[in-house]
Copies of this chain bind each other. A is one copy, B any other.
Amino acid sequence: MIEKTIAHIEANKEASVDRLKDFLRIESISTDPDCKPAMKRGAEWVHNLFLDCGIESEIVETPGHASVLADTGPAENGGPTILFYGHYDVQPTGDLSLWDSPPFEPTIRDGAIFARGSADDKGQILAHMLAVEAWRKAVGKLPIRVKFLVEGEEEIGSANLEKVVRDHKDRLSCDYVALSDTPKFDMATPAITYGTKGMIYKEIIVSGAKQNLHSGSFGGTLTNPGNALAQIIASLRDGDNRVTIPGFYDDVLPLTDEEKEKMQALPFDEAAYMKGMAVPSLEGEKGYSTLERRWTRPTLDVNGLLGGFTGTGSSTVIPATAMAKVSMRIVPNQDAQKISKAFDNAVLAAAPKGIRIEILTHAMCGAYVSPLGTPGMNAAAKAMEAGFGKAPYFIREGGTLPILPMFKEVLGAESLMMGLCMPNCNAHGPNEFFHVSDLHNGARASAHFINELAQVR
């Protein structure tokens, strides 16, 4: 059966590329009100592909952009149910002059399709759709039940996704969620991302006098909110780049020996990484390797600073207010609520006298780790190897995917992150690309994934 499916994928390579190009021509920028008709066309394009291969599908409207829910129906021999998640909306193009070819006119150069959304996420979700289509057209029935949830608001924070999932909890019930919104390790090597960090995003607003004051006439008689803010931020970390918030590390789980070994075994090129960022040296929490810090240790970073006079030259004001955006990435077993509270307390404790402090919380989300060694994870690994011709690396990610803890909570399902695109695919920048070979390899891997899961009883 799998042979027939793979043969179908191979025989339709050219048509698949044309279909991706067709998908990419739709200007489905979810943040742009002018793109509302294109967003509708994007949902319909996905919906029609499912209908075309005889899969039940529905466009579910939301107060924002619609989601497409599809379902191949119960499998004859039971087995696990898989839910593929993806999104048909894309990022804005940004400055068009930075694109070598127009973002909505897909162009192939050096084996890659350049277009907005090619990697994030149209190319990747289409690979999964093509696999299911191949099963349908080459074999007829799928050996397991496969569902799809393709949303239209990923690039604007998935505001309505949780409600859609809760409202359609039974329809979406599954054993695993599979998604490709993470990268491969490098050109030749696929990767399964098994952990993402959580995030708590704060804004600290320090207020002093009712207006900016002359630093000569008033200096030395009141607390300067700019100095106070610097003092507060500086107090949150020590000289070893450890976060000093009381209790911050209390619940952090140490890495297992297996994880440590796997991480040390990865061919991670520190020099190339450093050169890519163009920093003088790599720095971070003392006692941990670069990859450990990046993927598994909680961090605290200033994201923005603003206060007083910021133009060219000089203006001698004592700022009335100063603001910092500060976020923390947290790791498994850290409690977001607890860390959030500890942060607020630490900020207030570090504040000097003579000012007022306001702390806003813009985001709060826990970390997610997908257990290794589950039948689903093993099937994903075998499928990636079959699709790409090389066993995947198991990696973690410093970024945050709030939908993963949500799927876990609402559907009770773990997520499998089977990335198909390149780490440098320019996902949110100009000249976003997706390798043609990764479309085909991804489709094959997805087909194998379904086949592998069918062996799980």
A283 touches which one: B216, B222, B235, B316 (CB < 8 A)? B222
- In contact, B235 and A234 (Cβ under 8 angstroms): yes
Residues of B near A25 (CB, < 8 A) are none
Within 8 A of B (CB), among A213-235: 213-224, 226-227, 229-235
Q: Which of A218, A222, A316, A356 has the most CB of B within 10 A?
A: A222
Given contacts A199-B216, A221-B283, whether A308 and B303 have CB atoms under 8 Å apart is yes
CB of A317 within 8 Å of the partner chain: yes
A: number of interface residues (CB 8 Å): 80
Cβ–Cβ contact A316 & B219, under 8 A = no
A221 touches B310 (CB 8 A): no
B220 contacts A293, C-beta separation under 8 Å: yes
- Interchain nearest-CB distance for A17 vs B (Å): 29
Q: Is A285 an interface residue (CB 8 A)?
A: yes
Query: Which residues of chain A in 311-325 are interfacial with respect to chain B, using CB atoms and an 8 Å cutoff?
Result: 313-319, 322-325
Does A303 lie within 8 Å of B293, measured CB to CB? no
The smallest C-beta distance from A398 to any residue of chain B, in angstroms, reads 4
The 8 Å CB contact of A229, one of B215, B230, B232, B314, is B230
Question: In this assembly, does A13 line the interface, its C-beta being within 8 Å of a C-beta of chain B?
Answer: no
The CA of A280 and the CA of B230, in the complex, are separated in Å by 19
Min CB–CB distance A269 → chain B (angstroms): 13
- Asked whether A230 lies within 8 Å of B224 as measured between CB atoms, the reply is no
**A197 cross-chain contacts in B, Cβ below 8 A:** 216
For A285, the closest partner residue in chain B by CB is B220
Are A201 and B314 in contact (CB-based, < 8 A)? yes
Say yes or no: A226 contacts B304, CB within 8 Å.
yes
How many subunits of this chain does the assembly comprise? Answer: 2
Chain B residues contacting A301 (CB-CB under 8 Å) are 215, 219, 224, 226-227, 318
Q: Give A428 Cβ to nearest chain B Cβ, in Å.
A: 9
With contacts A221-B294, A325-B314 taken as known, whether A226 is within 8 angstroms of B283 at the C-beta atoms is: no
A282-296 CB contacts (< 8 Å) to partner B: 282-285, 290, 293-294
Taking a contact as CB atoms closer than 8 A, the residue among B220, B281, B303, B324 that contacts A294 in the complex is: B220
Chain B contacts for A209, CB-based, 8 A: 277-279
A218 and B314 within 8 A (CB)? no
Q: How far is the CB of A345 from chain B (nearest CB, A)?
A: 19
Q: How far is the CB of A226 from chain B (nearest CB, A)?
A: 3
A306 at the interface (CB under 8 A from B): yes
B220, A316: Cβ atoms closer than 8 Å: no
A226's partner among B284, B285, B303, B308 (CB-CB below 8 A) is B303
For A322, the chain B residues whose CB sits under 8 A away are 302, 305
Contacts of A237 in B (CB 8 A): 227, 231
Among the 9-residue stretches A52-60, A129-137, A347-355, the one with 4 or more Cβ atoms under 8 Å from chain B is A347-355
Q: Kindly list chain B residues whose C-beta atoms are within 8 Å of the C-beta of A324.
A: 226, 230
Please, which residues of chain B bring their CB within 8 A of the CB of A446?
A: none
Q: Is the CB of B210 within 8 A of A398?
A: no
> Closest chain B residue to A427 by CB distance?
B214
Answer whether residue A456 sits at the interface, using C-beta atoms and an 8 A cutoff. no
Cα-based distance from A209 to B282 in the complex (angstroms): 10
| Structural contact, B314 and A309, CB atoms closer than 8 A | no
Q: Is the CB of A309 within 8 A of B304?
A: yes
The yes or no answer to A362 lying at the interface (CB within 8 A) is yes
Q: Is A92 an interface residue (CB 8 A)?
A: no
Known: A201-B314, A216-B398, A282-B354. 12 other contacts (CB 8 A): A197-B216, A218-B398, A221-B294, A222-B282, A223-B281, A227-B234, A234-B234, A279-B355, A280-B353, A280-B354, A304-B309, A316-B400
Chain A positions near chain B (C-beta within 8 angstroms): 196-197, 199, 201, 203, 208-210, 213-224, 226-227, 229-235, 237, 273, 277-285, 290, 293-294, 297, 299-310, 313-319, 322-325, 327, 329, 352-356, 362-363, 397-400
Q: List 14 A-B contacts (CB under 8 A).
A: A208-B279, A209-B278, A210-B278, A214-B399, A215-B299, A215-B329, A221-B293, A226-B303, A230-B324, A279-B354, A282-B354, A304-B309, A309-B325, A314-B362
